[in-house]
Amino acid sequence: MSNDINLRVKRDKNLLKEQSKLKVFRLIAIGALLTILLMSLSIFLLNQKLSNSSADIEKDRESVLVEMKPFRGKEAKIIIVNNRIDNITKVLNKRMDVYKILNTILGKIPGGILIETLEFSGKKISMNITSVSLIPIDVFFNDLIEMAKRKEIVKSLTLESLDAVGLTGSYKISINMNI
């Protein structure tokens, strides 16, 4: 009962409770402050490390670019040369093999035939030939007809003229071929 009478003792109990609560809150605040301090310090250190590594990467990039600079001219030359080679290859693939065509046609000419003129322009060949006999002319012309039928080199064949030269006893023939 004396405790109820004495107001100071009740006050001390309440004060002690409040002080203990205050100590707990202060400890929590100090703990939170230390946690935030450690987190900010670790973030700062991590940021510094990443900054240094990105700076190193940038330095490496610059040094590689400087080392590659002498090769830029060579690279451009190689690209130009490769482009020219590709274009030349395309042109050569599109171009007709004139030597093969002429060798094939001239290989069909039998003995006894004389070639007076041979003109090659684009995809057209014109020939004037003479012979003292019609037999070699017939053999040659039949060979050209077979080539035209098979579409082997000669695509179409036109006999322009067949003349008999009376004084020499020879025959002259003019042929046009589309290849």
Residue type, 58: E
Identify whether the C-beta of residue 134 lies closer than 8 Å to the C-beta of residue 109.
Answer: no
Q: In Å, how far are 10, 51, 100 from 95, measured between CA atoms?
A: 117, 62, 12
Global confidence as pTM: 0.50
Task: Answer whether 179's CB lies under 8 Å from 123's CB.
Answer: yes
What digits encode the pLDDT tens for the residues 50-105? 776 767 778 888 888 888 887 777 888 888 999 999 999 998 888 777 888 888 88
Phi, psi for residue 109 in degrees, rounded to 5:
-75, 120
pLDDT digits (tens, 9 = 90+) for 7-57: 555 567 788 888 899 999 999 999 999 999 999 999 998 888 777 676 777
Give the model's pLDDT for residue 2. 54
Whole-angstrom CA distances from 130 to 57, 160, 168 are 83, 14, 11
Contact 172, 113 (CB under 8 A): no
Burial string for 99-120 (b: 16+ CB within 10 Å, else e) reads: eebeeebeebbeeebeeeeeee
